[in-house]
Amino acid sequence: MPSIDRDELIAQIKIQAMTVLMFTHSEPQYDLPEPEQMEDIGSFAVVQLTLMLEDLYSVELLEQMVDFKGGSFEDFADFIIERVEKGQDRVENEQGAVPGA
Protein backbone atom coordinates (compact mmCIF):
# COMPACT_ATOMS: atom_id res chain seq x y z
CA MET A 1 0.00 0.00 0.00
CA PRO A 2 1.49 3.40 -0.95
CA SER A 3 2.44 5.90 1.70
CA ILE A 4 0.32 8.97 2.35
CA ASP A 5 1.53 12.32 1.05
CA ARG A 6 1.60 14.58 4.12
CA ASP A 7 0.77 17.80 2.21
CA GLU A 8 -2.21 16.15 0.51
CA LEU A 9 -3.40 14.82 3.86
CA ILE A 10 -3.15 18.27 5.46
CA ALA A 11 -5.17 19.73 2.58
CA GLN A 12 -7.73 16.92 2.95
CA ILE A 13 -8.00 17.56 6.71
CA LYS A 14 -8.61 21.27 6.12
CA ILE A 15 -11.25 20.57 3.46
CA GLN A 16 -13.00 18.04 5.69
CA ALA A 17 -12.79 20.41 8.69
CA MET A 18 -14.43 23.20 6.69
CA THR A 19 -17.10 20.79 5.45
CA VAL A 20 -17.89 19.70 9.00
CA LEU A 21 -18.07 23.33 10.11
CA MET A 22 -20.51 24.17 7.32
CA PHE A 23 -22.79 21.30 8.30
CA THR A 24 -22.61 21.94 12.05
CA HIS A 25 -22.63 25.74 12.19
CA SER A 26 -25.84 27.30 13.47
CA GLU A 27 -25.85 29.86 10.64
CA PRO A 28 -24.11 28.22 7.67
CA GLN A 29 -25.31 30.90 5.27
CA TYR A 30 -22.69 33.30 6.69
CA ASP A 31 -19.07 33.21 5.62
CA LEU A 32 -17.21 31.00 8.04
CA PRO A 33 -13.59 31.71 8.87
CA GLU A 34 -11.21 29.01 7.67
CA PRO A 35 -10.02 27.02 10.67
CA GLU A 36 -6.29 27.30 11.35
CA GLN A 37 -5.97 24.90 14.32
CA MET A 38 -7.86 21.90 15.65
CA GLU A 39 -9.27 24.04 18.46
CA ASP A 40 -10.94 26.30 15.88
CA ILE A 41 -13.46 23.62 14.99
CA GLY A 42 -14.69 22.50 18.43
CA SER A 43 -14.88 19.05 19.97
CA PHE A 44 -18.01 17.87 18.14
CA ALA A 45 -16.50 18.82 14.78
CA VAL A 46 -13.21 17.11 15.73
CA VAL A 47 -15.13 13.88 16.32
CA GLN A 48 -16.96 14.24 13.00
CA LEU A 49 -13.71 15.05 11.20
CA THR A 50 -12.00 12.05 12.81
CA LEU A 51 -14.80 9.72 11.74
CA MET A 52 -14.65 11.04 8.16
CA LEU A 53 -10.89 10.49 8.05
CA GLU A 54 -11.23 7.00 9.54
CA ASP A 55 -13.51 6.09 6.68
CA LEU A 56 -11.37 7.79 4.06
CA TYR A 57 -8.09 6.17 5.15
CA SER A 58 -9.46 2.89 6.60
CA VAL A 59 -7.75 3.44 9.95
CA GLU A 60 -8.98 3.46 13.54
CA LEU A 61 -8.47 6.96 14.96
CA LEU A 62 -11.24 7.93 17.34
CA GLU A 63 -10.29 5.34 19.95
CA GLN A 64 -6.69 6.56 19.78
CA MET A 65 -7.40 10.30 20.04
CA VAL A 66 -6.46 10.18 23.71
CA ASP A 67 -2.86 9.85 22.45
CA PHE A 68 -3.10 12.96 20.25
CA LYS A 69 -1.23 15.79 21.97
CA GLY A 70 -0.91 18.27 19.11
CA GLY A 71 -3.06 21.21 18.18
CA SER A 72 -2.43 21.94 14.53
CA PHE A 73 -3.75 20.24 11.41
CA GLU A 74 -0.13 19.36 10.64
CA ASP A 75 0.14 17.57 14.02
CA PHE A 76 -3.09 15.73 13.25
CA ALA A 77 -1.76 14.70 9.84
CA ASP A 78 1.36 13.26 11.49
CA PHE A 79 -0.85 11.43 13.99
CA ILE A 80 -2.90 9.90 11.16
CA ILE A 81 0.14 8.95 9.07
CA GLU A 82 1.70 7.19 12.04
CA ARG A 83 -1.47 5.13 12.62
CA VAL A 84 -1.88 4.29 8.94
CA GLU A 85 1.74 3.14 8.74
CA LYS A 86 1.36 1.05 11.90
CA GLY A 87 -1.75 -0.52 10.40
CA GLN A 88 0.09 -1.26 7.15
CA ASP A 89 2.97 -2.85 9.08
CA ARG A 90 0.53 -4.98 11.05
CA VAL A 91 -1.23 -6.17 7.88
CA GLU A 92 2.09 -6.94 6.17
CA ASN A 93 3.28 -8.89 9.22
CA GLU A 94 0.04 -10.87 9.34
CA GLN A 95 0.28 -11.63 5.62
CA GLY A 96 3.88 -12.75 6.00
CA ALA A 97 3.11 -15.03 8.95
CA VAL A 98 3.25 -18.72 8.21
CA PRO A 99 0.05 -20.49 9.32
CA GLY A 100 0.67 -23.14 11.94
CA ALA A 101 4.25 -22.01 12.58
The contacts of residue 25 (CB under 8 Å, 6+ apart) are 32
Residue segments in the chain with a per-residue pLDDT below the cut of 50: 1
pLDDT of 69: 93
pLDDT of 92: 56
pLDDT of 88: 67
Q: What is the DSSP letter of 28?
A: T
Domain 6-93, architecture per CATH: Orthogonal Bundle (1.10)
pLDDT of 26: 72
With beta carbons less than 8 A apart as the criterion, state whether 49 and 41 touch.
yes
72 DSSP β-pair partners: 37
**Tell me: the pLDDT tens digits for 30-48?**
677 888 899 988 888 899 9
